[in-house]
Every structure is written in C-alpha cells, then in structure tokens.
C-alpha cells in the first residue's frame, strides 16, 4: 500500500477487496425412492451426516506449518508491488541465497497485516509457530503492544550490513525498515500543455487551474492517496508551507478547525474550475482514466502508479510529470517488518538486508517508479541524474492519527458540496 501520509495508510485502489468467504459445497442427498422407507431413512441419515462432514471440513481452518527455508511474506500493497516482488526481488534473492525461497502472500489491506501481527502475538504467548516471517508493509506500532511482546525484530540491532545506508529521515522506529517510498506528482497531457508551461509551484498551479476550467481533477481524499496528498498539500499551503506544523499527536479540535478551514477555502476556491464544475473522481485509477481519455489535462498521481500506467500503455509515452518545487506533494515510505518469533527469522533478516542493496534499490526507481529507502548518496549518479526532475529535495509527509479523520470528514462537509454543479 502506498502511504498517503507518514502514518495513515490511504488505500489507493478504487475499491476494497471483499473478503471472499469460501465454504465448500454441501452435497445434496439423493432423492428417496418410493418403496424402501427404512433403508432410505438410513441413507438419508448418512447423506445428512456426510454433508455435515463435508461442510464441517471445509469450515475448519486448514492446518499447515511454516517450513524451514520458506519465508512467509505478507503485503498489504497493491498488485504492482506484488508483481515487483514476484518478478524482480524474489528471483534475485533466491538466486543469491540458494535453499531459501519466498512465499508471497497478499494480506489484502492494512487491517489484514495487523490481523497477522495479532496472530503472531498469540503464537508467541503460546510458544507456537506464527506462520509469518516478513511484512512487506507494516506499521511497527500496530497491533499495539507487538514490540513489547517481542514479536517484531529490532532491525537496528540486527546487524544488517546495509542498515547505515537507510535514509535517516525515513526511519520511524527501530523495528521497521523503510525500504521504498512513493510520492505524488502531477501528471499532464503534454499534447495540450508543454513542459515549459507546466506549473512548478502552488500559485502557478492555481492560476493554471483557473485559466483552464474543467481540465484538472483530483480524487476524494479518502479514496486514494493521490487526491489525499493533493488536499494535504493545500493544507501545507494554508499553513505556511511547513510540514513540521502537523505531528501525529498535536491534533486538537481548535487547532484542526483553524488549520483546516484555511485549506478548505483554498480548495473551495478552485472547485468551480475543476472537471465538470467540481467533480471528484473516486480513486487514483479513475483519475488516471480521466487523463487517459483526454477528459482532463492534469491530475495528481502516485509516482509508481503513473510509471506503470505509462509502461503498460494506459497513458501515452509522452505523459508529462512535474513536481511542485516550492514544496513537493506529500509522500511516504513503506516499511518492512521482520517477525522475531518466525521460523525463518534469520533468513528474513537476510532478505531485509538484500532489499537495501543497490540492485533492488535501483530497481525500485527504474521498475517500480518509487523512491529508494536508502539515502540518495547510495543511488548511482546516473539514476540520480535521470530522475532529477521528479525528485524533490525533501519528501514532506503528513501525519495520520486524528488528522486523517478530521481531513476526511472536513473535506466532505466543506469542499465537496459547495458547488452547484448544474449552474
């Protein structure tokens, strides 16, 4: 999952996965014949109990045990991340470490990872096998108490050879490893807007939006991080361009109202000039779809998602990308976690070290379109040169916690309804 903010995961795909519950088919009992009543009853009894056994065995949790040498890996990220692991990281790691393989499992969303973390805590108490070794994306503070319970490995103390390379700004906890980042950029249709005219700061962007009504769209802030971080950039704009003003625990209703109301004014001001007099798409993908159908000229996008869209031909090769230079749109890091009581703890730490290697960190830039988790000094100069345009000097983040709820509620109440769309 891409993080919209430092601590608040905003699901970036348009819809959530439904938890598909599969319950085995219950075989239907044969229809009783006419004459053999008693025998039939027995058969019916048998069919009923057989059906019960079939249904019951389908409902029972499948018993399995973690295998030595197979790292049980879980992610809450989107399919592009899973693809990246399956096609790039897994083969490279397995080639470099014969005898160790990775079992890639999609945990769905952040709640799925937390549930597996809770399972690991329960397993630790019972001295059982947690059947999990590595979280590709997780928050070391969740589930609460996991660190105190000794379920998450202390990565700082684990002696990883590459740990010193990690970007110090990205480190949030000794128990999680920031290995990749994403940021929100502005993508634009370069046939309608030349790179020279693309806005490079917030004021230019607002001027451009107003001069080109209907050509800009951002998605609802809770439905995807691209729109969410655009809204957060407006909040930064309204509060002196200083991300440090907002911390995870300094939300109060009074301060929130004061800080956010100014941002709602900025966003309400541009609303009539947005697509369809103030319509907001319902996710990152839908924004990209509107851009690809030539409906809008510019939209905020996740860096990795837009690069994938371009490479898959959803967006044309000449799609322009620009980052605001006065203060970049917020982004965030994805942090990996190693399970301390997992069967493959040591192999997982090897994997953690491996994803900080130059090979994988470069691939995160070139193949995933994300940011490296290591400091820029450890990225090859050639890549630094190539991505200079979209790389900001800093990656501002926005805290989650109570701020997320206040932003999500406030935006819907103050920005979304303001416009009479039929006028």
CB atoms within 10 A of CB 374: 25
The helix or strand, by DSSP H or E, that contains position 73, with its residue range, turns out to be strand 70-75
Q: Is 408 in the site for another protein (CB under 8 A)?
A: yes
CA distance 217 to 167: 33
Q: Which listed residue (44, 262, 345, 350) binds another protein by CB under 8 A?
A: 44
β strands within 119-263, DSSP E: 134-135, 177-188
8 Å CB contact between 422 and 275: no
Query: Which of 15/67 has CB closer to another protein?
Result: 15
Q: Which listed residue (5, 76, 176, 281) binds another protein by CB under 8 A?
A: 281
Q: Which listed residue (34, 61, 99, 161) binds another protein by CB under 8 A?
A: 34
Window 206 to 235, contacts with another protein (CB under 8 A):
220, 222
Give residue for tokens 């020279």. 196
CA distance 11 to 360: 24
Q: Is 131 in the site for another protein (CB under 8 A)?
A: no
Q: Which listed residue (97, 190, 282, 366) binds another protein by CB under 8 A?
A: 282
Q: Is 59 in the site for another protein (CB under 8 A)?
A: no
Q: Is 375 in the site for another protein (CB under 8 A)?
A: no
* CB 176 to another protein: min, Å: 22
Query: Which of 275/354 has CB closer to another protein?
Result: 275
β strands within 309-418, DSSP E: 320-322, 331-338, 371-372
Q: Which listed residue (279, 346, 387, 392) binds another protein by CB under 8 A?
A: 279
Q: What is the DSSP letter of 19?
A: -
Stretch that binds another protein, among 43-51, 310-318, 359-367, 377-385 (CB under 8 A): 43-51
Torsion of CA 314, 318, 319, 325, to 10 degrees: 150
Per-residue buried b or exposed e for 319-341, using 16+ beta carbons within 10 Å of the residue's own CB: bbbbbbeebbbbbbbbbbbbbbb
Q: Which listed residue (154, 239, 268, 289) binds another protein by CB under 8 A?
A: 289
* CB 298 to another protein: min, Å: 15
- What CA–CA distances, in Å, run from 145 to 121, 241, 248, 381? 9, 35, 18, 42
Query: Which of 386/421 has CB closer to another protein?
Result: 421
CB atoms within 10 A of CB 30: 11
Specify which residues 321 forms β-bridges with: 187
Query: Which of 286/397 has CB closer to another protein?
Result: 286
Q: Is 96 in the site for another protein (CB under 8 A)?
A: no
Q: Is 37 in the site for another protein (CB under 8 A)?
A: yes
Stretch that binds another protein, among 37-45, 204-212, 345-353, 376-384 (CB under 8 A): 37-45
* CB 238 to another protein: min, Å: 20
Q: Which listed residue (125, 157, 276, 326) binds another protein by CB under 8 A?
A: 276
Residues in binding contact with another protein, number by CB under 8 A: 33
8 Å CB contact between 153 and 175: yes
Distance of CA 205 to the CA centre of its chain: 26
Stretch that binds another protein, among 59-67, 274-282, 349-357, 376-384 (CB under 8 A): 274-282
Q: Pull the structure tokens for residue 68.
A: 């030595």
Crossing angle, helix 284-292 and helix 303-311, to 10 degrees?
40
Query: Which of 84/403 has CB closer to another protein?
Result: 403
DSSP strand pairing (177-188 vs 320-322): antiparallel
> Which residues of this chain interact with another protein, rule CB under 8 A?
14-15, 34-35, 37, 41, 44-45, 48, 220, 222, 275-276, 279-283, 286, 289-290, 293-295, 404-405, 408-409, 412-413, 416-417, 421
């Amino acid at each position: 999952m891409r993080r919209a903010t430092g601590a608040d995961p905003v699901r970036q795909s348009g819809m959530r996965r439904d938890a598909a519950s599969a319950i085995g088919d219950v075989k239907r009992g044969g229809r009783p014949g006419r004459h053999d009543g008693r025998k039939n009853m027995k058969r019916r009894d048998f069919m009923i109990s057989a059906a019960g056994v079939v249904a019951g065995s389908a409902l029972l949790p499948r018993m399995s045990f973690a295998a030595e040498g197979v790292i049980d890996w879980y992610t809450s990220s989107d399919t592009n991340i899973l693809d990246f692991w399956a096609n790039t990281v897994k083969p490279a790691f397995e080639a470099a470490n014969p005898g160790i393989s990775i079992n890639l499992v999609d945990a769905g969303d952040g709640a799925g990872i937390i549930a597996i973390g809770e399972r690991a805590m329960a397993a630790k108490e019972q001295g059982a096998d947690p059947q999990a070794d590595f979280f590709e994306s997780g928050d070391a503070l969740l589930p609460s108490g996991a660190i105190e319970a000794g379920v998450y490995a202390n990565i700082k103390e684990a002696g990883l050879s590459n740990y010193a390379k990690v970007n110090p700004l990205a480190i949030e906890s000794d128990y999680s490893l920031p290995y990749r980042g994403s940021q929100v950029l502005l993508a634009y249709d370069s046939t309608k807007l030349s790179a020279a005219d693309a806005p490079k700061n917030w004021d230019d962007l607002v001027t451009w939006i107003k001069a080109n009504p209907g050509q800009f769209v951002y998605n609802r802030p809770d439905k995807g991080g691209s729109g969410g971080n655009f809204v957060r950039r407006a909040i930064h704009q309204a509060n002196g361009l200083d991300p440090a003003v907002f911390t995870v625990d300094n939300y109060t209703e009074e301060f929130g109202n004061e800080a956010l109301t100014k941002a709602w004014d900025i966003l309400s001001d541009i609303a009539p000039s947005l697509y369809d007099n103030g319509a907001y798409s319902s996710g990152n993908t839908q924004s990209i779809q509107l851009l690809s159908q030539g409906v809008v000229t510019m939209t905020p996008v996740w860096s990795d998602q837009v690069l994938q869209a371009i490479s898959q031909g959803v967006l044309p090769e000449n799609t322009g990308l620009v980052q605001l230079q006065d203060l970049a749109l917020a982004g965030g890091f994805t942090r990996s976690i190693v399970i301390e009581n997992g069967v493959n703890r040591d192999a997982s730490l090897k994997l953690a070290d491996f994803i900080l290697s130059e090979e994988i960190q470069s691939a995160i830039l070139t193949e995933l379109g994300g940011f490296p988790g290591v400091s820029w000094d450890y990225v090859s100069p050639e890549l630094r040169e190539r991505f200079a345009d979209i790389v900001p000097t800093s990656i501002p983040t926005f805290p989650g916690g109570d701020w997320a709820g206040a932003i999500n509620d406030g935006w819907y109440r103050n920005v979304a309804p303001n416009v009479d769309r039929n006028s």
